[in-house]
């Protein structure tokens, strides 16, 4: 029996992104693994209010990989990399999650494989190899140049010349990550079979890596220059990604993936996509909603990845992001929000130039969990982990640091306690830890901690039907405060308000209410008559009568 449309589990779920290398080491090699995650599941959800209470986890890639891009270079889509365990460990994890009602999403990487994948090995063997056309090969231009002006997301040309066969192959990321050719129906069929293999094993769904890149312009036409780029800036932004990202043919591939998921009951996919709200809307499949179940909206991280810089934490920006999302999505489609992930600096570190990042992050939690849509919490966000910038060169890991971005600071191990191994490992961790004073142990019994705020808000969200399924109405604009009301028929409405400034603000209440959670406990008394008083950087949820 299929779930009733509009009431699927993922619509009300709180998702948790877990970077498997950094969650819990169980075998003492300094790298997190699957059995480690299984051991920590009670922290994520033990069915009581004492746990975080999330509903689903997304594991960044766990497949066999040379780890040039830490698993985003897959050499076998259906296996488990020994660094994380084996298939039995994966089965144990899935079963233990399902026992607790936690759904499991894996990371599907359709755009590229590792250069060590047998498909690429075969493809590069000769120009007449049976799998030659599984990847994107082109002759040099007359005179010997690269086939077009596309740049790799990590910088430098997106093409590498293969001496043996005298052609270039396309790689939108590292040269060790050759792009698959999704115009070849055999490739699409093989990738669909990968999905089925995992769906048969009981996986609940997938996060899909760079979904918008799998189908490029059929003639691989040059990209137009980016008018906002100037000399000295990353070459990633030198051109608009017109012909190799969100190219209209991509939506056909999206529908094909959806059809595979629909062969099973209760499964879903969330796409990593970049673009304007209108482009993001396309990934849902338009009014037919026959595309992805969810597509990430990264605008709280950056409003445009081609412009550079990060989104500000101020009322006009927050309001603009919410309004654009509400206006942009087809009816029945639900936004999907993330305030951080393994590719970007952590929320607190992005908003800490005045040392108030922690306070903004507390308010951020109530916004993320109060918005209409699916919230994704990045591991450690719930205890206020910060970027670890102090990593000596010899311990740096991210290969992209040689090209464009350095992502190690946001990938450091989960901090379970203040001990030298942070409860993560007894060995030297693969990346250095962050500051010892940020840990689960320090926060779990403190009702004022970030962890308690997350637990309480996630628990409360589950009780408030308006938050789970209600509409969102933005209240009239004001440069200091953002407020919106969530309403569902037959349920009490909830107002979500945030003061983004360093001064106290007041908000006229549209109707009487009662604060049900706030970033600071002193707020309990700050709803006087028809005015809500919000201290600096605070946020609150108010149940309306
Ligand atoms: C996006 C992933 O999130 C990132 O970590 C990875 O490097 C690229 N895609 C390439 O797979």
For residue range 106-125, what is the model confidence (pLDDT) as tens digits? Answer: 999 999 999 999 999 999 99
Does 292 lie in the same domain as 208? yes
Indicate left, alpha or beta for 57 from its phi (over 0: left) and psi (-120 to 50: alpha).
Answer: beta
Please check whether residue 350 is in contact with residue 356, taking contact to mean a CB–CB distance below 8 angstroms. no
Q: Which parts of 346-460 are beta strand (E)?
A: 374-378
The preferred substitution site among 17, 60, 176, 209 for testing ligand 1, maximizing ligand atoms within 8 Å of CB, is 209
Report the CATH number that the domain containing residue 314 is assigned in CATH.
3.20.20.80
Distance CA 217, CA 249 (A): 8
10 Å Cβ neighbour count for 236?
A: 21
Does 413 lie in the same domain as 367? yes
What is the CA(152)–ligand 1 centre distance, in A?
12
What are the CA-CA distances from residue 427 to residues 27, 38, 172, 538 (Å)?
9, 19, 35, 40
Closest residue by Cα to atom 5, ligand 1, is 343
Distance CA 65, CA 83 (A): 10
pLDDT tens-place string over residues 344-376: 999 999 999 999 999 999 999 999 999 999 999
Ligand 1 atom at shortest distance from the alpha carbon of 72: 11
Does 214 lie in the same domain as 332? yes
Here the tokens at position 29 are 């090699």
Does 487 lie in the same domain as 414? no
What is the CA(171)–ligand 1 centre distance, in A?
12
Closest residue by Cα to atom 11, ligand 1, is 72
Cα 46 to chain centroid, rounded: 24
Question: Would the CB of 173 count as within 6 Å of ligand 1?
Answer: yes
399 vs 107, more confident: 107
Distance CA 458, CA 56 (A): 13
What is the CA(107)–ligand 1 centre distance, in A?
10
Distance CA 507, CA 354 (A): 25
Indicate left, alpha or beta for 412 from its phi (over 0: left) and psi (-120 to 50: alpha).
Answer: beta
How many CA atoms, within 13 angstroms, populate the side-chain half-sphere of residue 76? 8
pLDDT tens-place string over residues 69-97: 999 999 999 999 999 999 999 999 999 99
Please check whether residue 427 is in contact with residue 433, taking contact to mean a CB–CB distance below 8 angstroms. no
10 Å Cβ neighbour count for 196?
A: 14
Does 420 lie in the same domain as 476? no
Mean pLDDT of 240-249: 96
Mean pLDDT of 226-243: 89
Question: Would the CB of 208 count as within 6 Å of ligand 1?
Answer: no
Closest by Cα among 348, 364, 345 to 356: 348
Among 99, 249, 262, 263, the one annotated catalytic: 263
Distance CA 190, CA 207 (A): 18
What is the CA(348)–ligand 1 centre distance, in A?
22
Closest residue by Cα to atom 8, ligand 1, is 72
What is the CA(364)–ligand 1 centre distance, in A?
25
Question: Would the CB of 379 count as within 6 Å of ligand 1?
Answer: no
Distance CA 447, CA 212 (A): 42
pLDDT at residue 525 in the model: 66
In a domain? residue 378 = yes
Residue 150 has pLDDT above 60, yes or no: yes
What is the CA(160)–ligand 1 centre distance, in A?
19
- Its domain, for residue 435, covers 9-15+101-112+185-461
In a domain? residue 48 = no
Closest residue by Cα to atom 6, ligand 1, is 72
Ligand 1 atom at shortest distance from the alpha carbon of 112: 11
Distance CA 461, CA 368 (A): 11
Quickly tell me which residue has 């069929």 as its tokens.
189
Residues 458, 492, 46: CA angle, nearest 5 degrees: 20
The preferred substitution site among 179, 210, 236, 274 for testing ligand 1, maximizing ligand atoms within 8 Å of CB, is 210
Residue 505's beta-bridge partner residues?
Answer: 534
Question: Would the CB of 381 count as within 6 Å of ligand 1?
Answer: no
Does 505 lie in the same domain as 391? no
In a domain? residue 439 = yes
The preferred substitution site among 72, 301, 401 for testing ligand 1, maximizing ligand atoms within 8 Å of CB, is 72
493 burial class (0-12, 13-18, 19+ CB within 10 angstroms)? buried
Residue 526 has pLDDT above 80, yes or no: no
Mean pLDDT of 292-316: 94
Kindly indicate the confidence band of residue 308, based on its pLDDT and cuts at 50, 70 and 90: confident
What is the CA(241)–ligand 1 centre distance, in A?
16
Residue 376's beta-bridge partner residues?
Answer: 15, 338
Question: Would the CB of 247 count as within 6 Å of ligand 1?
Answer: no
Closest residue by Cα to atom 2, ligand 1, is 209
Number of domains forming the structure of the chain: 3
Question: Would the CB of 378 count as within 6 Å of ligand 1?
Answer: no
Question: Would the CB of 73 count as within 6 Å of ligand 1?
Answer: no
Closest by Cα among 23, 11, 26 to 58: 23
Question: Would the CB of 343 count as within 6 Å of ligand 1?
Answer: yes
pLDDT tens-place string over residues 408-466: 999 999 999 999 999 999 999 999 999 999 999 999 999 999 999 999 999 999 999 99
Question: Would the CB of 509 count as within 6 Å of ligand 1?
Answer: no
Residue 487's beta-bridge partner residues?
Answer: 471
Distance CA 6, CA 489 (A): 14
What are the CA-CA distances from residue 223 to residues 114, 148, 230 (Å)?
25, 8, 16
Among 209, 305, 381, 382, the one annotated catalytic: 209
Does 256 lie in the same domain as 127? no
In a domain? residue 85 = no
Ligand 1 atom at shortest distance from the alpha carbon of 73: 11
Please check whether residue 431 is in contact with residue 392, taking contact to mean a CB–CB distance below 8 angstroms. no
Does 251 lie in the same domain as 139? no
Residue 152 has pLDDT above 90, yes or no: yes
Please check whether residue 24 is in contact with residue 32, taking contact to mean a CB–CB distance below 8 angstroms. yes
Question: Would the CB of 72 count as within 6 Å of ligand 1?
Answer: yes
Sheet (strand 505-508) strand order: 505-508, 531-534, 527-528
Closest by Cα among 461, 454, 505 to 479: 505
Distance CA 400, CA 402 (A): 5
Ligand 1 atom at shortest distance from the alpha carbon of 111: 11
Give the end of a domain, one of 404, 430, 461. Answer: 461
Active site residue 235: no
Distance CA 188, CA 166 (A): 26
Residue 385 has pLDDT above 60, yes or no: yes
Kindly state the DSSP code that residue 357 receives in the 8-state scheme.
H
Here the tokens at position 247 are 């190219």
Residue 193's contacts (CB-CB under 8 Å, 6 or more residues apart) are: none
Residue 524 has pLDDT above 70, yes or no: no
In a domain? residue 161 = yes
Please check whether residue 468 is in contact with residue 461, taking contact to mean a CB–CB distance below 8 angstroms. yes
Percentage of the chain exceeding pLDDT 70: 99
Does 515 lie in the same domain as 438? no
Show the DSSP H helices in 46-174 as ranges: 87-99, 118-125
Residues written for the chain = 545
Q: For strand 268-271 and strand 205-208, is the pairing parallel, antiparallel, or unpaired? A: parallel
Closest by Cα among 120, 111, 110, 19 to 61: 19
Does 305 lie in the same domain as 270? yes
Active site residue 263: yes
Give the end of a domain, one of 405, 433, 461. Answer: 461
pLDDT at residue 1 in the model: 42
What is the CA(154)–ligand 1 centre distance, in A?
10
Ligand 1 atom at shortest distance from the alpha carbon of 173: 10
pLDDT at residue 4 in the model: 78
What is the CA(421)–ligand 1 centre distance, in A?
28
What is the CA(342)–ligand 1 centre distance, in A?
9
What is the CA(209)–ligand 1 centre distance, in A?
6
Does 370 lie in the same domain as 233? yes
Question: Would the CB of 404 count as within 6 Å of ligand 1?
Answer: no
Report the CATH number that the domain containing residue 525 is assigned in CATH.
2.60.40.1180
Q: For strand 159-162 and strand 167-170, is the pairing parallel, antiparallel, or unpaired? A: antiparallel
Q: What is the secondary structure of 307-323 as a DSSP string?
A: T-S----SHHHHHHHHH
In a domain? residue 37 = no
Question: Would the CB of 69 count as within 6 Å of ligand 1?
Answer: yes
Mean pLDDT of 232-237: 83
Ligand 1 atom at shortest distance from the alpha carbon of 109: 11
SS3 29: coil
Q: What is the pTM of this model?
A: 0.97
In a domain? residue 437 = yes
Give the end of a domain, one of 147, 170, 193. Answer: 170
Q: What is the secondary structure of 387-419 as a DSSP string?
A: ------GGG---GGGGTS---GGG-PPP--SSS
């Amino acid at each position: 029996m299929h779930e009733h449309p509009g009431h699927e589990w993922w619509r009300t779920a709180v998702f948790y992104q877990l970077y498997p290398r950094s969650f819990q080491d169980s075998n003492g090699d300094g790298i997190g693994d699957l059995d480690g995650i299984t051991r920590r599941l009670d922290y994520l959800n033990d069915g009581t209010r004492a746990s975080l209470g999330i509903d689903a986890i997304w594991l960044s890639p766990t497949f066999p990989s040379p780890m040039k891009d830490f698993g985003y270079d897959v050499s076998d889509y259906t296996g488990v990399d020994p660094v994380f365990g084996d298939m039995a460990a994966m089965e144990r994890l899935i079963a233990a999650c399902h026992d607790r009602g936690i759904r499991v999403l894996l990371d599907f990487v359709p755009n590229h494989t590792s250069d060590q994948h047998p498909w690429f090995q075969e493809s590069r063997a000769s120009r007449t190899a049976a799998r030659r056309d599984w990847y994107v090969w082109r002759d040099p231009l007359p005179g010997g140049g690269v086939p077009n002006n596309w740049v790799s997301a990590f910088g430098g040309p997106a093409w590498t010349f293969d001496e043996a066969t005298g052609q270039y192959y396309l790689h939108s990321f590292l040269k060790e990550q050759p792009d698959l050719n999704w115009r070849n129906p055999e490739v699409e069929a093989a990738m669909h079979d990968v999905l089925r293999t995992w769906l048969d094993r009981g996986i609940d769904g997938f996060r899909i890596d760079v979904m918008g890149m799998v189908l490029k312009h059929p003639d691989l036409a040059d990209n137009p220059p980016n008018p906002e780029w100037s000399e000295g800036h990353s070459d990633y932004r030198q051109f608009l990604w017109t012909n190799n990202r969100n190219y209209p043919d991509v939506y056909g591939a999206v529908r094909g993936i959806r059809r595979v998921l629909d062969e099973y009951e209760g499964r879903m996919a969330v796409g990593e996509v970049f673009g304007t709200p209108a482009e993001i809307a396309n990934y849902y499949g338009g009014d037919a909603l026959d595309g992805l179940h969810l597509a990430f909206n990264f605008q709280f991280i950056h409003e445009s990845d081609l412009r550079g810089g990060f989104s500000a934490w101020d009322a006009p920006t927050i309001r603009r992001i919410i309004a654009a999302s509400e206006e942009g999505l087809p009816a029945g489609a639900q936004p999907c929000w993330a305030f951080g992930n393994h590719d970007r600096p952590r929320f607190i570190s992005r908003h800490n130039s005045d040392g108030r990042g922690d306070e903004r992050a507390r308010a951020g939690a109530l916004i993320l969990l109060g918005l209409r849509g699916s919230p994704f919490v990045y591991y450690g966000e719930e205890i206020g982990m910060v970027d670890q910038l102090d990593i000596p060169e010899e311990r740096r890991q991210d290969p992209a640091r040689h090209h464009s971005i350095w992502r190690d600071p946001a990938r450091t191990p989960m901090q379970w306690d203040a001990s030298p191994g942070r409860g993560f490992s007894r060995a030297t961790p693969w990346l250095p830890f962050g500051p010892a004073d940020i840990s689960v142990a320090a926060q779990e019994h403190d009702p004022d901690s970030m962890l308690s705020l997350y637990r309480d808000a996630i628990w409360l969200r589950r009780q408030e039907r308006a938050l789970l399924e209600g509409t969102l109405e933005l209240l009239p604009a004001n440069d200091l405060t953002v407020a919106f009301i969530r309403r569902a028929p037959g349920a009490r409405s909830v107002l979500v308000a945030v003061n983004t400034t360093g001064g106290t603000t007041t908000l006229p209440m549209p109707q009487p209410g009662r604060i049900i959670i706030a970033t600071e406990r002193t707020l309990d008394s700050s709803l006087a008559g028809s005015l809500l008083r919000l201290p600096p950087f605070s946020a609150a949820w108010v149940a309306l009568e």
